[in-house]
Amino acid sequence: LSLPDGTTAVADLVCSDGRIGDIVGPNSRVADADEEIDVTGLHLLPGVIDPHVHTRDPGATHKEDLEHASRAAAAGGITTIFEMPNTVPPAGDATAIDERRVTHPERSVVNIGLWGLVLGHEDRSTLRSLAEAGAVAGKLFWGYFFDRQTGALVYDPATLPEDRRVPPASIGDVRKLFTEAAAANFLLGIHCEDRSVLDSARTGTPAEDYEALLRVRPTEAETVAIAAAIELAATTSARIHILHISSARGVDLVRRAKQDGLPVTAETCPHYLSLTAADYEGVGSALKIFPPVRRELDRQALLAGVQDGTIDSIGSDHAPHSLEERAGSFATQPAGAVAVETMLSVLLDLVAASELSLAAVVRALTWRTADLYRVAPRKGRLEVGADADVTAVDLSSSWTVDAAELHSKARMSPWHGRQLVGRPKLTVVGGQVAMRDGHVFSDVRGRFVEPLREGGRSSG
Ligand SMILES: [Zn+2]
């Protein structure tokens, strides 16, 4: 068992009624157990949480849907996903959350929590209702346009008539939003890329290769937004969570904010920890991800940030597009990685390569993530009374990623062909076996996950 202090213990887990009923010494017999699973040689982790998954459901289910994404999660050792709100229609108000908290778990093999969408102007008053409806956090896509009519996130505003464009939040909008979030005690997760910096970096010619992509999506687009967010958090006391940090300077900004005692936490993704722009030659267009993967010095700084806890959480940013959409030229195809299924293995491979410690990976994937989204202690812990969500991994199993074997709709991966050491062997969701030795039990259903409310109402 992996324990929160980074140590391990040898023990047997007893699951009953979807909870961890007991933790007993090795080889002690449990009378009248319905089922016994031998996990000798495997490491038991608290069920891994992926807080950053775009299932695209509803709206863009030709790219991905909840059934496929949740099976991919179970296959990858994930017991809980948090669904990103930029669906069509978006999870933008309490009504959408109320509906999906019932319908989504009915279709998902793993547990599911929901992000709520916040725009920064137009909808500040909905923050409190999103929190009350049970959203795990509010997501601010800083720097993106939205379609007023459909609620969809718009990658290229030129494709939309002017009166339908909801423009990106200004810094003043964000300031007001933070004030509201602080009053509602609601966590805000932020995609940090400043639109005006991106606009200023535009070259007029399409980015046909990775070096060109790095020029039009420079580091400072990310760091200027992170710096502004930190300054606004300092004065408004909003709890902010910087999503998918890709740069060394981004890590530095968060480290300093934490040293100053500010309510700032941070996430990065497996691609920023394991890949760099130099991999484009071998990986090809599957490496098109926003923000882009950058240089080795960025990767090293991100690894150090996970290792020392500056980076609290790791999410896959699973963001599939159809193979047809991804078949176009590098310049015009949409960005995003198919990543939920490989996240845990990619990180275990970094442990095998001594680039990260197992304790740091477990912290970022389980208990620290559960703490910051306030779904602990029922999630993120292997202790009596916690939900029986368990991930068992073989730290020495070596395998090669084959995109054709993935459970997502779009079978492509920036890790295709890569040999990894470390693999999930068993996924237990609320006491039910959702994956064993690579076989996914599609009839298993997860439950809705929501933050602990003030006054003590529990997630589950
Ligand atoms: Zn995302």
Residue with tokens 């090809």: 284
Q: How many CA atoms lie within 13 A of 102 on its CB side?
A: 5
Residue 420 in this model has a pLDDT that exceeds 90: yes
Tell me the CA–centroid distance for residue 118 and ligand 1, in Å: 14
**pLDDT tens per residue, range 33-56:** 888 999 989 999 999 999 999 999
Distance between CA atoms of 158 and 57, rounded to whole angstroms?
Answer: 25
Tell me the CA–centroid distance for residue 152 and ligand 1, in Å: 14
What mean pLDDT is predicted for residues 53-73? 95
Residue 4 in this model has a pLDDT that exceeds 80: no
Question: For position 428, what pLDDT does the model report?
Answer: 98
DSSP code of 143? T
Which among 50, 57, 312, 317 is annotated as catalytic? 317
Residue 300 in this model has a pLDDT that exceeds 90: yes
Tell me the CA–centroid distance for residue 83 and ligand 1, in Å: 10
Sorted by sequence, the CB contacts under 8 Å of residue 60 that are 6+ apart come out as 87, 88
Q: How many residues does the chain have?
A: 460
Question: For position 458, what pLDDT does the model report?
Answer: 47
Question: For position 123, what pLDDT does the model report?
Answer: 60
Distance between CA atoms of 254 and 225, rounded to whole angstroms?
Answer: 12
What mean pLDDT is predicted for residues 90-105? 94
pLDDT above 90 covers a percentage of the chain that reads: 78
What mean pLDDT is predicted for residues 364-389? 96
Residue 268 in this model has a pLDDT that exceeds 60: yes
Does residue 317 have an active-site annotation? yes
**Amino acid, res. 451:** P
Distance between CA atoms of 303 and 273, rounded to whole angstroms?
Answer: 6
Tell me the CA–centroid distance for residue 84 and ligand 1, in Å: 7
Tell me the CA–centroid distance for residue 90 and ligand 1, in Å: 14
Q: List, as ranges, residues with CB under 5 A of the ion ligand 1.
A: 317
Least confident segment among 30-39, 190-199, 391-400: 30-39
Of 213, 199, 204, give the one whose Cα is nearest residue 294. Answer: 213
CB atoms within 10 A of CB 4: 19
Distance between CA atoms of 76 and 16, rounded to whole angstroms?
Answer: 24
Angle at 416 between CA 86 and CA 435, to 5 degrees: 70
Residue 460 in this model has a pLDDT that exceeds 50: no
Sorted by sequence, the CB contacts under 8 Å of residue 84 that are 6+ apart come out as 52, 53, 54, 55, 115, 139
pLDDT band per the 50, 70, 90 thresholds, residue 166 = confident
Question: For position 348, what pLDDT does the model report?
Answer: 98
Residue 411 in this model has a pLDDT that exceeds 80: yes
What mean pLDDT is predicted for residues 73-80? 98
What mean pLDDT is predicted for residues 409-414? 95
Burial code of 418-438, b = ≥16 C-beta within 10 A, e = fewer?
bebbbbbbbbbbbbbbbbbee
Determine the 3-state secondary structure of 149 from DSSP: coil
pTM across the whole model: 0.96
What mean pLDDT is predicted for residues 321-339? 93
Torsion-angle region of 188 (φ positive above 0: left; ψ -120 to 50: alpha; else: beta): beta
Question: For position 170, what pLDDT does the model report?
Answer: 87
What mean pLDDT is predicted for residues 28-33? 77
**pLDDT tens per residue, range 104-155:** 999 999 999 999 999 877 665 578 899 999 999 999 988 888 888 888 888 7
Sorted by sequence, the CB contacts under 8 Å of residue 203 that are 6+ apart come out as 212, 215, 216
